[in-house]
Chains A and B, each alone.
Chain A
Amino acid sequence: MATSVTGGSKDAPTNPRGIPYAPFVDKVEDYVTSRTEVEATLKSFQEMISKYQFMEVNTQRRAAGLKDKIPDIQKTLDTVRFLKTRKPGSEPTETTFELNDTLFAKALVPPTEEVYLWLGANVMLAYPIPEAEQLLDAKLSTAKLSLTNCEEDLDFLREQITTLEVATARVYNWDVAQRRKERAEHGGSITGGKPASPNG
Chain B
Amino acid sequence: MASTQGQQIELTSLTAQQLTQLKKQLDTELEHLTTSFQSLRTAQSKFRDCLKSISTGLNAKTADKPLLVPLTSSLYVPGTLASSTHVLVDVGTGFFIEKSTADASDFYTRKIGDLGESLKDLEQIVQGKASNLRVVEDVLRQKVVGASQES
Residues in chain A within 8 A of chain B (CB atoms): 72-73, 75-76, 79-80, 83, 92, 94-110, 112, 114-120, 124
Q: Is the CB of A105 within 8 A of B72?
A: no
Q: How far is the CA of A72 from the CA of B90 in the complex (A)?
A: 22
Q: How far is the CA of A88 from the CA of B67 in the complex (A)?
A: 21
21 contacts between A and B (CB under 8 A): A75-B72, A76-B75, A79-B71, A79-B72, A96-B88, A97-B69, A97-B71, A99-B87, A100-B53, A101-B46, A103-B89, A105-B58, A105-B83, A106-B83, A109-B77, A112-B77, A115-B75, A116-B75, A116-B78, A118-B74, A118-B75
Q: Is the interface of A mostly helix, strand, loop or mixed?
A: strand
Q: Taking A109-B79, A116-B77 as contacts, is the C-beta distance between A103 and B69 under 8 angstroms?
A: no
Which residue of chain A has its CB nearest to the CB of B62?
Answer: A105
| A76 / chain B contacts, CB cutoff of 8 Å | 71-75
Q: Is the CB of A105 within 8 A of B75?
A: no
Q: Is the CB of A104 within 8 A of B72?
A: no
Q: Assess whether B119 is interfacial by the CB under 8 Å rule.
A: no
Q: Taking A103-B53, A103-B104, A106-B88 as contacts, is the C-beta distance between A94 and B73 under 8 angstroms?
A: no
Q: Which of B65-100 contact A (CB under 8 A)?
A: 67-83, 86-91, 96
Nearest first, the 6 closest Cβ-Cβ pairs linking A and B are: A109-B79, A104-B88, A106-B82, A102-B90, A116-B76, A118-B74
Quick one: which of A92, A106, A108 contacts B86, CB cutoff 8 A? A106
Q: Is the interface of B mostly helix, strand, loop or mixed?
A: strand
Quick one: which of A72, A80, A105, A120 contacts B87, CB cutoff 8 A? A105
| A116 / chain B contacts, CB cutoff of 8 Å | 68, 75-78
| A103 / chain B contacts, CB cutoff of 8 Å | 50, 53-54, 87-90, 104
| A79 / chain B contacts, CB cutoff of 8 Å | 71-72, 75
Quick one: which of B76, B88, B90, B96 contacts A115, CB cutoff 8 A? B76
Q: Assess whether B113 is interfacial by the CB under 8 Å rule.
A: no
Q: Taking A76-B72, A106-B83, A107-B69 as contacts, is the C-beta distance between A112 and B96 under 8 angstroms?
A: no
Rounded to whole Å, the gap between the CB of A125 and the closest CB of chain B is 10
Q: How far is the CA of A20 from the CA of B87 in the complex (A)?
A: 58
Q: How far is the CA of A124 from the CA of B77 in the complex (A)?
A: 12
Quick one: which of B47, B76, B89, B104 contacts A118, CB cutoff 8 A? B76
Q: Assess whether B27 is interfacial by the CB under 8 Å rule.
A: no
Q: How far is the CA of A75 from the CA of B83 in the complex (A)?
A: 26
Q: How far is the CA of A141 from the CA of B78 in the complex (A)?
A: 27
Q: Is the CB of B57 within 8 A of A117?
A: no
Q: Is the CB of B74 within 8 A of A108?
A: no
Q: How far is the CA of A83 from the CA of B76 in the complex (A)?
A: 11
Q: Assess whether B29 is interfacial by the CB under 8 Å rule.
A: no
Rounded to whole Å, the gap between the CB of A131 and the closest CB of chain B is 13
| B68 / chain A contacts, CB cutoff of 8 Å | 116
